[in-house]
């Protein structure tokens, strides 16, 4: 027979643990939320490309290479000297389409603004020479809106998708500049049935998306 | 085509699978002539790395013939007999430029798992689970090799397939283990593990100037082979206290360098081993670091401990105090295949190293599952089963 005292002690200990765990989770979540500024989420991501700044700029201005790089998921149309219109298809499928306007603001700076897409978004990229002999740092800042005001206030907005997309894009760009391709193992042979292959593709998707950039 | 697939923990089977196709400009397709089992496959087969999917084709240590090249391939042509490094390297990133190929930035298309586990993602590895990129392996009739110009090397005529196959992984891994030791001549080097990698590490240490090499294992036939083939001294840890023996053999100093060529499923005797094995079986720790602990304890003050056995996650009871207070140098890593293979092919051609004796059990691909079983249980003196698809 358990005494009342023991029951209260157990209840107390459980509550204390639950509150502690809850606080830990809340803190973790806060740490993983993007910064906020004037109602925008702001994320900054960078990647280092093993080429001098000039070569990286050269990649952006070589129309043929850029077209080839973007072939699978976007088209580019030049509006005037410094502005392009970009129509991108969500690589994850679902038929989502984005329209963006890209502007070259200076020798190592490029900015973009989504003019038509599911999430209001704008951003810019700076190219900075990396220390030692390490090439170029591509530093991107992305601002986007998402979720309702209440969800945002509670920190529940699923705000990480544009961020994941940005990290993916940076990794793709790095690989294209350094190797001319982005490796893909999705269609490598296996002994899987079509159903198993579909499940495995989902796993691949999870292991491909996001990461640290 | 036929291929040896992973079908769940401890289960392998040969299946009919589609043939690989060229998918990028730098790809080549290799018709596999010899494909070796490797100790590191056992960690995958036995489910210690949770990134295997049913149907994955195993195998990463192989050689064969180029049968198709992508439009961007310059260095190779159809018909070339090649050996291919297990790690995939792009050749264009900073790590590749500085010959640290196993750290390539661009060759793992599925880097999220290892980024979470290790902070950064190293190179992809052929046939080595979805953590290492999800590439199909070489225990098959054909394999697609990305960045063919970087990863595949023409093999000198006259060197048999079952010898040169080890230039893919076991030899460069062993060589890197010895290279880490910074030998300048006259050292005493101890090597844990008398498998393919350990024996190649022992040979590399000799060629790099070690005066004495001592190999440690528990299998008398493997120790016997090492002694006969390489002229090394041996310790059987099942019969002898290794630390005591190494101290005696070096008049109290301890070996100048210790190479660990065992990995996460290390064996030992006694209660500490039972404790490790129980924790690993319950998945409370990923790796069994028995031989690393021993290497750290045995190494002379200020010496080098070089780890080329594969570890994946967290270890318990790691003697960091011994390493710190003895001012040890710890070096470790997956091998930079592309850095070492051309030099190793030269040395094979010159007769300085002859790894062919490691291929104790050549067999058809169809017997792959049995080949792994013999290898894991060390049946019939099996050092390596080498599979032949054709």
Q: What is the CATH number of the domain that holds B227?
A: 3.40.50.720
Same domain membership, residue B240 and residue B160: no
Give the number of domains in chain B: 2
Task: Test B55 with A190 for CB contact under 8 angstroms.
Answer: yes
Residue B91 and residue B160 in one domain: yes
User: Could you tell me if B310 and B187 lie in one domain?
Assistant: yes
> Same domain for B206 and B159?
no
* A29: number of Cβ within 10 Å: 12
Residue A151: per-residue pLDDT: 54
User: Nearest-CA distance from B100 to chain A in Å?
Assistant: 14
Are residue B22 and residue B162 in the same domain, yes or no?
yes
B7 CB neighbours in chain A (<8 A) are: 191
Is B300 found in the same domain as B199? Answer: yes
What is the least distance, in Å, from the CA of A38 to any CA of chain B? 32
> Alpha carbon of B132 to those of A27, B58, B106, B359: distances in Å?
32, 12, 12, 26
One domain, residues B152 and B285: no
Q: Distance between CA B141 and CA B390 in Å, rounded?
A: 7
Residues B54, B150 within the same domain: yes
Domain end among B316, B332, B348 = B332
Is the Cβ pair A181, B110 closer than 8 Å? no
Category of B31 on φ-ψ map: left (φ > 0), alpha (ψ -120 to 50) or beta = beta
Host domain of residue B356: 2-169+335-388
The string of pLDDT tens digits covering residues B200-221 is 999 999 999 999 999 999 999 9
Looking at the fold, whether B273 and B138 belong to one and the same domain comes out as: no
Which of A46, A48, A207 best probes binding to B when mutated, by most B CB atoms within 10 angstroms?
A207
Q: Find the residue in B nearest to A211 (Cα).
A: B112
Nearest CA in chain B to A181: B24
B229, B312: one domain: yes
Inter-chain contact A179–B56, Cβ cutoff 8 Å? Answer: no
Pairing between β-strand A40-49 and β-strand A74-80 as defined by DSSP bridges = unpaired
Q: Where are the domains of chain A?
A: 36-183
- Supply the pLDDT for residue B289: 84
Four-CA torsion B68, B70, B76, B80, nearest 10 degrees: -10
Q: Residues B309, B347: one domain?
A: no
Q: Is there a contact between A189 and B26 if contact means CB atoms under 8 Å apart? A: no
Query: Can you give the C-alpha Rg of chain A in angstroms?
Result: 23
Buried b / exposed e along B276-310 (16+ C-beta atoms within 10 A)? bbebbeeeebbbbbbbbbbbbbbbbeebbbbbbbb
Query: Cα–Cα distance between B34 and B37 in angstroms, integer?
Result: 10
Residue A213's pLDDT is 47
Placement of tokens 């969800």 in the chain: A151
* B112 close to B130: Cβ distance less than 8 angstroms: no
What CATH architecture is A36-183? 2-Layer Sandwich (3.30)
The domain boundary residue, chosen from B317, B332, B347? B332
CB-CB neighbors (< 8 A) of A48 in chain B = 94
Residues B197 and B230 in one domain: yes
Q: What is the pLDDT of residues B153-183, one digit of tens each?
A: 999 999 999 999 999 999 999 999 999 999 9
Instruction: Using CB atoms, pick whichever of A180, A190, A212 lies closest to residue B115.
Output: A212
| Interface contact flag, B93 A50, Cβ < 8 Å | yes
Angle (nearest 5°) at CA B102 between A173 and B280: 115
Report how far residue B38's alpha carbon sits from residue B43's, in angstroms, rounded to the nearest whole number: 10
Low-confidence ranges of chain A (pLDDT < 50): 157, 159, 213
| pLDDT tens track, chain B, 390 positions | 999 999 999 999 999 999 999 999 999 999 999 999 999 999 899 988 779 999 999 999 999 999 999 999 999 999 999 999 999 999 999 999 999 999 999 999 999 999 989 999 999 999 999 999 999 999 999 999 999 999 999 999 999 999 999 999 999 999 999 999 999 999 999 999 999 999 999 999 999 999 999 999 999 999 999 999 999 999 999 999 999 999 999 999 999 999 999 988 778 777 777 877 777 777 677 677 889 999 999 999 999 999 999 998 888 889 999 999 999 999 999 999 999 999 999 999 999 999 999 999 999 999 999 999 999 999 999 999 999 997
Q: Which tokens is B144 given?
A: 């697609």
Whether A211 sits inside 8 A of B111 (CB atoms) is yes
């Amino acid at each position: 027979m358990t005494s009342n005292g023991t029951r209260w002690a157990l209840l107390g200990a459980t509550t204390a643990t639950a509150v502690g765990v809850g606080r830990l989770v809340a803190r973790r979540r806060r740490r993983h939320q993007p910064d906020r500024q004037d109602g925008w989420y702001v994320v900054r991501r960078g990647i280092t490309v093993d080429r001098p700044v000039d070569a990286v700029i050269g990649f952006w201005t070589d129309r043929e290479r850029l077209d080839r790089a973007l072939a699978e998921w976007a088209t580019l149309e030049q509006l005037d000297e410094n502005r392009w219109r970009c129509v991108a298809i969500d690589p994850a499928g679902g038929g989502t389409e984005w329209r963006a306007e890209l502007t070259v603001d200076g020798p190592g700076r490029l900015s973009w603004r989504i003019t038509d897409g599911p999430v209001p978004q704008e951003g810019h990229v700076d190219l900075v020479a990396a220390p030692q002999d390490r090439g170029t740092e591509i530093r991107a800042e992305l601002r986007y809106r998402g979720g309702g005001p209440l969800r945002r206030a509670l920190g529940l907005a699923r705000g990480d998708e544009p961020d994941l997309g940005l990290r993916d894009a940076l990794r793709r760009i790095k690989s294209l500049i350094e190797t001319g391709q982005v490796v893909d193992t999705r269609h490598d042979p296996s002994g899987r049935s079509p159903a198993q292959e579909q499940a495995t593709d989902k796993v691949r998707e999870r292991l491909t998306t996001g990461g640290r950039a | 085509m036929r291929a040896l697939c992973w079908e769940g923990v401890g289960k392998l089977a040969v299946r009919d699978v589609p043939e690989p196709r060229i998918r990028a400009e730098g790809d080549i397709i290799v018709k596999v002539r010899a494909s070796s089992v490797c100790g590191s496959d056992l960690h995958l087969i036995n489910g210690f790395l949770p990134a295997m999917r049913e149907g994955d084709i195993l195998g990463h240590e192989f050689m064969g013939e180029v049968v198709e090249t992508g439009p961007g391939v310059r260095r190779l042509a159809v018909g070339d007999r090649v050996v291919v490094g297990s790690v995939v390297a792009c050749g264009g990133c900073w790590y590749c430029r500085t010959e640290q190929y196993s750290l390539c930035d661009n060759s793992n298309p599925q880097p999220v798992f290892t980024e979470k586990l290790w902070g950064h993602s190293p190179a992809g590895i052929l046939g080595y689970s979805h953590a290492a990129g999800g590439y199909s392996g070489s225990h098959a009739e054909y394999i697609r090799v990305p960045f063919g110009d970087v990863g595949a090397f023409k093999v000198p005529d006259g060197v048999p397939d079952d010898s040169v196959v080890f230039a893919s992984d076991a030899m460069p891994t062993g060589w890197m283990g010895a290279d880490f030791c910074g030998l300048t001549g006259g050292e005493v080097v101890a090597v844990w593990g008398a498998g393919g990698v350990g024996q190649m590490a022992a040979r590399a240490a000799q060629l790099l100037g070690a005066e004495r090499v001592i190999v440690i294992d528990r299998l008398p036939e493997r120790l016997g082979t090492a002694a006969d083939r390489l002229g090394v001294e041996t310790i059987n840890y099942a019969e002898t206290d290794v630390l005591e023996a190494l101290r005696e053999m070096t008049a109290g100093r301890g070996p100048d360098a210790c190479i660990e060529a065992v990995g996460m499923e290390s064996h030992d005797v006694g209660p500490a081993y039972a404790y490790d094995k129980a924790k690993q079986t319950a998945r409370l720790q990923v790796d069994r670091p028995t031989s690393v602990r021993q290497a750290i304890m045995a190494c002379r003050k200020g010496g080098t401990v070089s780890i080329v056995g594969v570890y994946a996650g967290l270890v318990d009871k790691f003697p960091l105090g011994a390493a710190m207070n003895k001012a040890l140098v710890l070096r470790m890593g997956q091998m930079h295949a592309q850095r070492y293979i051309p030099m190793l092919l030269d040395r094979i051609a010159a007769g300085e190293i002859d790894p062919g004796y490691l291929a104790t059990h050549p067999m058809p691909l169809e017997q792959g599952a049995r080949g792994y079983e013999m290898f894991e249980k060390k049946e019939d003196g099996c050092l390596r089963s080498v599979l032949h698809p054709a």
